[in-house]
Structure 1
Amino acid sequence: MSVPPEGIYELGDTDGDEWRMVEKKGHQFVVNNQPFYVNGFNTYWLMVFAVDKSTRGKVSEVFREASSVGLTVCRTWAFNDGQWRALQKSPSVYDEDVFKALDFVVSEAKKYKIRLILSLIDNWDAYGGKAQYVKWGKIAGLNLTSEDDFFSDSTLKSYYKNHVQAILTRVNTFTNVTYKDDPTIFAWELMNEPRCLSDPSGNKLQAWIQEMAIYVKTIDPNHLLEIGLEGFYGPSTPDRIQSNPNTFAQQVGTDFIRNHQALGVDFASVHIYPDSWISQSISDAHLHFVKSWMEVHIEDAEKILGMPVVFAEFGVSESDTGYNASFRDTLISTVYSTLLASTRKGGSGGGSLLWQLFPDGTDYMNDGYAVVLSKSPSTSNMISLQSTRLMIFNSLCSMRCHWGCRKKNALDAFLYHNDL
């Protein structure tokens, strides 16, 4: 790991700064008109762990460890529908203890200077998701035939809108700040990995995205909004179809370019899972895919969409054939170096969020992708180096005041030397 040039850490010191909302300026994120490039992570189960006092400490532990390596954004669930420890027990009926647990997550994130992307529902059913909404609809007597009715049925859409309103207008019981006014929240996410297989044309999902993006913005025009997409190209860009990881990807009802052109959407989201999409056997082909997948989305975000793109999930599973920790580090390095190449020229690569960061002692939650920093010193060093480099970019305005030409060569060597 490189040692940063003398005095680097002074530049990112924002302890005295007012905690302000993240905004978008062109195809870059800014805070108080300073660049804000993101090095972050996912830990989806924070709310559920915060409910029980015996596990609540793990929430603080995740944030403390993330902060120690300079991570600044966490993506987590602001939903749990009709399941064990449900936040929403039935449409518009909430468990106050679970809501207070989410309050704790938000307040604790602020304590460690970590901002949150809060996802509002799941495409998948582990935490209820759209399947649970359809179950509720059937209980109410609706004639529903598919989970994808979630996207088109007016009653189910009203259930979702009511949930959006409940979250955005919630007054945090720890901070007394309404969620829609809290700068701790980086962005809202409409849905984790939306897919609508019943309509490969993409029209059904597109209509839902447009309706819900506008709805979120009518309640909260200040926070950023993203969709939660995996990044698959669809019918609107036939010339990009070959960039998809497989032929199935173009049939799931999503359309990267068209979806992100919906009014109210502020930045693009992309996920990166070559081991799920291409092959569960580890190979160099995965790394080539990661680089090309990122580069094409960065280019499209910049030249077509005019917005930042965040690679909101990326990782590799230890259950993959041929997996080892060295390959994981190489994959993470590929993501980080590809982003730095964009950052260096002021491109649309807004940041990345590792899937996923775990504290020690939560192995029973591991989906194969867990990174425990205390057990992974090489990965921890790599994350820390990326954080430091992005912190320098985020301080460029200050640097113009504090740094002379004599420092420039040392700074460039640290920023761009390819030793991730």
Structure 2
Amino acid sequence: MVELTFPICGRRTALAGLAAAGLAGCSGARGVLAPPKRFVATRGMRFVRGGGWYRYTGANAWYLAWLGSDTKYGDRARLRRELDRLQSIGVGNVRLLAGAEESPVKNSIKPGFETQDGTLNRSLLTGLDVAMAELGKRGMTAVLYLTNNWEWSGGMMSRLYWETGRYKDMNDPADPWPAFPDAASAFYANRDAVERFFRSVRMLVGRTNTVTGTAYKDDPALMAWQLANEPRPGVSPEVMQAILPDYYRWIDDSAALIRSLDPNHLVSLGMEGTIATDGDVEIVARAHRNIDYLTAHIWPLNWGWVDGKDLAGTWAAGAAKVRDYIDRHVKLAATLGKPLVFEEFGFPRDGELYDPAATTQFRQRFYRMIYAAAEASRAAGGPVQGTNFWAWNGEARAQHPDHRFRDGETQYMGDPPHEPQGWYGNFDSDDAVIAIVRQHAQTFATA
């Protein structure tokens, strides 16, 4: 391998240049050029692969390992159909879940990859192998996230429960927001929980695919290992300040561990951006010091920027906040000299309805806004290198009039089981949205 090391700027130096967003000379992580035609690497603000510029249109589909398993909850034929659909519209990258922890935490998915007694779900691991093999057949790449800040896949709260016997539930009336994320942030300081996480990392990063016979570290279908989905250092200011040293240590140690096991692939954090730090850009910059690229997640409804029942009346103000959020992260990535991916972005159907028959006029506007920003960055030589919409529902349909998932059901959607099925995900019948994705894929690849 040829390794390119970029200069490391101090935090004060790096952040002082935000107004001069075009300067890309500062980088806190190594840039690695992999052997031609194999691995995705970074060169300054670009992804490269096989000697050329690598940029992509992507999707989120957390459930692919479940479909790939040879069990009652698996459906390998559907897995292949969904990947064929995504490929046909120009999606070249999929972000999927590769770690889920079973526990009493409300909404933690079952089955998961691991249980409290250390039992690994071999069928689900094989399902991940199948998903990776199918992605590789199609020339697609994957981002695999290893745990979750939130409860729906068990995540950090479950790992804390395994070690302490205590947990909180998200949206518990007795413990209102932000009790859950504040409590979950104790994970970073719990050495037993972190060490057990490291054991799971060693297991997966060191795994050999049982379908292809290729070690994960040698698989060109893997773009990046991602530490977690939306890892936050708590929410309350006092909690955040107390936990930051442990948060940074967990990020740096996790990244170093992965690189020691796999020198070929990128390491990502999976952070939402400044929404996770109460607007503090310096925390985001420090968190990515040893991370290969930045991510931004954009959720106008969840963050209260729009009203799902009055999208027409709240769109303009919400759109302005979205543009500001995008600009802020483009400038930060440019200052740090690293690629940026709009890794999650979601918007409800009109009227915040869930049925596939509901229209998507405002979702279409939102997608166009995100894609236009990515295309403008690309045209200007900026840092945006990828987009992953949330999420792909494909052929799945809600099984009940209340659009709620029941334990034991297998119609997995991009909307996780704890959310209304059809809230943010795109169905295979969403022709207007699909057309926008397809057009962006063509433009982003050639602009």
Tell me if structure 2 keeps the 8 A contact 1:189–1:228: yes
Distance in 2 (alpha carbons) for counterparts of 1:58 and 1:129: 26
Q: Are residue 286 (structure 1) and residue 318 (structure 2) matched?
A: yes
Unaligned runs of 5+ in 2: 1-35, 103-108, 167-181, 400-412, 414-420
Cα separation, 1, equivalents of 2:50 and 2:437: 25
- What CA distance in whole angstroms lies between the structure 1 residues aligned with 2:286 and 2:439? 35
Tell me if 1:85 matches 2:111: yes
Preserved CA contact (<8 Å) 2:272 2:296: yes
Are the structure 2 counterparts of residues 277 and 139 from structure 1 closer, same or farther at C-alpha, using a change threshold of 3 Å? closer
**Structure with a larger share of its residues in helix:** 1
Once superposed, which parts of structure 1, at least 4 consecutive aligned residues long, lie more than 3 Å away?
319-324, 362-365
1:131 to 157, 177, 187: 157
Q: 2:192 aligns with which of 132, 155, 176?
A: 155
| 1:306 matches 2:348 | no
Q: Which moved more, 1:279-288 or 1:104-113?
A: 279-288
Q: Does 1:359 align with 2:404?
A: no
Partner AA of 1:309 in structure 2: L
Instruction: Give 1:363 shift.
Output: 3.4
Q: Please show how residues 253-272 of structure 1 align to structure 2 within 5 Å.
A: 255-261=283-289, 263=290, 265-272=291-298
TM-score (norm. length: structure 1): 0.79
Q: In the alignment, what sits opposite 2:425? A: 370
Picking from 201, 226, 229, the partner of 1:192 is 229
Shift of the alpha carbon at 1:183? 0.9
Matches within 5 A, 1:14-413: 20-51=38-69, 52=71, 55-82=75-102, 83-90=109-116, 92-138=118-164, 146-197=183-234, 199-201=239-241, 202-232=244-274, 249-250=278-279, 255-261=283-289, 263=290, 265-281=291-307, 282=311, 283-303=315-335, 305-318=336-349, 324-364=359-399, 365=413, 366-372=421-427, 374-392=428-446
Q: CA RMSD in A?
A: 2.5
Count residues in correspondence: 355
Identity of aligned residues (%): 24
Deviation of 1:123 (Å): 0.7
Q: Which amino acid aligns with 1:258?
A: R
Could you tell me how far 1:139 is from its partner in structure 2? 5.1
Confirm or deny: 8 A CA contact 2:202 2:261 kept in the other structure.
yes
Q: 1:256 and 1:370, CA in 2 relative to 1: closer, same or farther beyond 3 A?
A: same
- For 1:387 and 1:46, the matched residues in 2 are separated by 22
1:334 is displaced (CA, Å) by 0.4
Aligned counterparts of 2:197 and 2:117: Cα–Cα separation in 1: 8
Query: TM-score under structure 2 normalisation?
Result: 0.74
Secondary structure of 2:143's counterpart equals strand
Contact 2:306 2:318 in 1 (8 A): no
Question: Counterpart amino acid of 1:328?
Answer: R
Does the C-alpha gap of structure 1 residues 379 and 346 become closer, same or farther in structure 2, counting only changes over 3 Å? same
The offset of 1:314, in angstroms, is: 0.3
> Is the CA contact (8 Å cut-off) linking 2:392 and 2:425 kept in structure 1?
yes
